[in-house]
Structure 1
Amino acid sequence: MSPLFLAFLVGLGQGLFHAVGPDHCAAMATLGTLGPSRRRATFLIALRFALGHAAVLGGVATVCLVAGVGLSETFERWAEMFGGMVLVALAVTAFLFPNVLRHGHPHLPGHTQEPHSHLHESHTHERVTTAAGALMAVSGVRSLLLALPPLLVGGSLHTSGWTYLPGFALGILVGMGAVGLLLAEGLARLDSTLAERLQRIVAVGSAALGLFWIVNRL
């Protein structure tokens, strides 16, 4: 097996493993239960989260490779705490102000949706989902750099490192897409009342996980 293909496969496997981390699954579930309970919509939420996540990870890793620099353990600790804060903020907002995440603004009593508001709602949810994936990627940058073949052999730029990155990004997309499919299938079987209750339960669980993530790294 060629080193290029081997690096791609290693990246793919580690991307899959990274994608199903508990913090990522919690964030995707929080966002997924806020959207319309349709398979396609929930699956697309997971993919948008994955795209934002992979873009930031790949972008920062590429810059570090080109510059020949690594990241310290202190950076990783604070970055993981930041990821926990993002998860807590997302969960609290989803629990207390779900319409802010759905529509970008709270609804006043007597507010009625006009046809164009559904399009606005979709765009707002898409932006929030992609941004959440991007922000939570910061906590995984150092781990990715430590796994990259170029840094493991002293920081020199080897071609295998550049095949590892696409494999890692693909693993994230596939892994998070699979989580999205499972979530979508479950939500599709619930009525609106149960889906709303599930949204609040997921938000509480996500907040608890985020707090644990922060405290565990203090």
Structure 2
Amino acid sequence: MDPALSAILLGFVLGLQHATDPDHLVAVATIITRERRFTDGALVGVLWGAGHMTTLTVVGALIIGLKLTITPAVGSGLELAVAGMLILLGVLRLRDAVRGLAAVPAGHMVADHEHGGGAGVVHSHPHVHGSDHAHEHPHVHPSRFLTALGLRSGWPAGRALLVGAVHGLAGSAAVSLLVLATLRTTASAIAYLLIFGIGTIIGMTLLTAVMAYPVALALRFRRARQALGFCAGIGSIVFGLAYGYTVL
């Protein structure tokens, strides 16, 4: 087998393995704890992988094609950006968990549900305060796709896509150096980056599918939902601080 082809195929395997990096798993797990449906949780992995692949391939191709040199200081700065992102994800997750405690009285809680009318249909559910006061609040269910993208929370773009892009940017320097050491032509190097990215998408999608199922089951219960939110937020903050400390 041609050595270049062997190296490119190896890139797919390394991409699968790359998805298991601890900082990747912490970030994605923090996002998944918001998703009450298995399909939404699995979609997080696809979006993270797409964001990761995009920046990794584009920036990596520029580094290889223009023969740019990435200094250790720049590499460390990108890793610190990842640490800061993990801390921010944790803070936002804690904020959402606290809002969930304060904003939804027990009498207002209704089971997670769907409606034949589809997403975006405004409707109401009755709930009771005490024995003699019942009323309704209208609400709307956003589409699953927009929910997984993070648009429900007011982010201008998908959380998973953005987080994956930052991870891909941080990893582009190291992966490009590896490619330059094994492949001689620009075309084969870019092919390696693409195959590596595809491997990362598949790897993260499989991992998120495994994580999403038990999370979706747990989120049916209010106490479990609260506990997951606080644990995910605190875990992401602590890991981000530790990760940043190792970079400094």
Q: TM-score normalised to the size of structure 2? A: 0.75
Q: Residues of 1 paired with 2:181 and 2:80: CA distance?
A: 26
Cα drift, residue 28 of structure 1: 0.5
The answer as to 2:59 corresponding to 1:30 is no
Cα drift, residue 211 of structure 1: 0.4
Q: Residues of 1 paired with 2:81 and 2:13: CA distance?
A: 26
The residue identity in structure 1 corresponding to 2:54 is A
Higher strand share: 2
Q: Residues of 2 paired with 1:215 and 1:128: CA distance?
A: 24
| DSSP 3-state at the match of 2:247 | coil
Gaps of 5+ in 1: 101-106
The answer as to 2:194 corresponding to 1:162 is no
CA RMSD of aligned residues (A): 2.8
Change (3 A) 1:34 1:208: same
Cα drift, residue 161 of structure 1: 1.4
Report sequence identity in percent: 23
Aligned to 2:3: 3
Aligned to 1:114: 139
Cα drift, residue 163 of structure 1: 2.5
Q: Residues of 1 paired with 2:160 and 2:181: CA distance?
A: 33
Aligned to 2:82: 83
| DSSP 3-state at the match of 1:114 | strand
Report if aligned partners of 1:68, 1:156 keep a CA contact under 8 Å in 2: no
Q: Residues of 1 paired with 2:80 and 2:35: CA distance?
A: 27
Aligned to 1:103: none
Higher helix share: 1
Cα drift, residue 17 of structure 1: 1.8
The answer as to 2:207 corresponding to 1:179 is yes
Aligned to 2:72: 73
The residue identity in structure 2 corresponding to 1:114 is H
Report if aligned partners of 1:19, 1:175 keep a CA contact under 8 Å in 2: yes
Q: Residues of 1 paired with 2:4 and 2:187: CA distance?
A: 7
The answer as to 2:231 corresponding to 1:207 is no
Q: Which protein shows a greater Rg? A: 2
Change (3 A) 1:63 1:98: farther
The residue identity in structure 2 corresponding to 1:186 is P
Aligned to 2:227: 197
Bigger shift: 21-30 or 194-203?
Answer: 194-203
The residue identity in structure 2 corresponding to 1:141 is S
Aligned to 1:45: 44
Aligned to 1:136: 167
Report if aligned partners of 1:52, 1:131 keep a CA contact under 8 Å in 2: yes
Q: Residues of 2 paired with 1:204 and 1:33: CA distance?
A: 13
Report if aligned partners of 2:48, 2:163 keep a CA contact under 8 Å in 1: yes
The residue identity in structure 1 corresponding to 2:167 is M
| DSSP 3-state at the match of 2:9 | helix
Report if aligned partners of 1:16, 1:174 keep a CA contact under 8 Å in 2: yes
Residues 35-94 of structure 1 show CA distances to partners (whole Å, capped at 9, x for unaligned) of: 22x211100011111111111111100111221213111111111111000010011111
Q: Residues of 1 paired with 2:96 and 2:229: CA distance?
A: 12
The residue identity in structure 1 corresponding to 2:7 is A
Bigger shift: 156-165 or 200-209?
Answer: 156-165
| DSSP 3-state at the match of 2:69 | coil
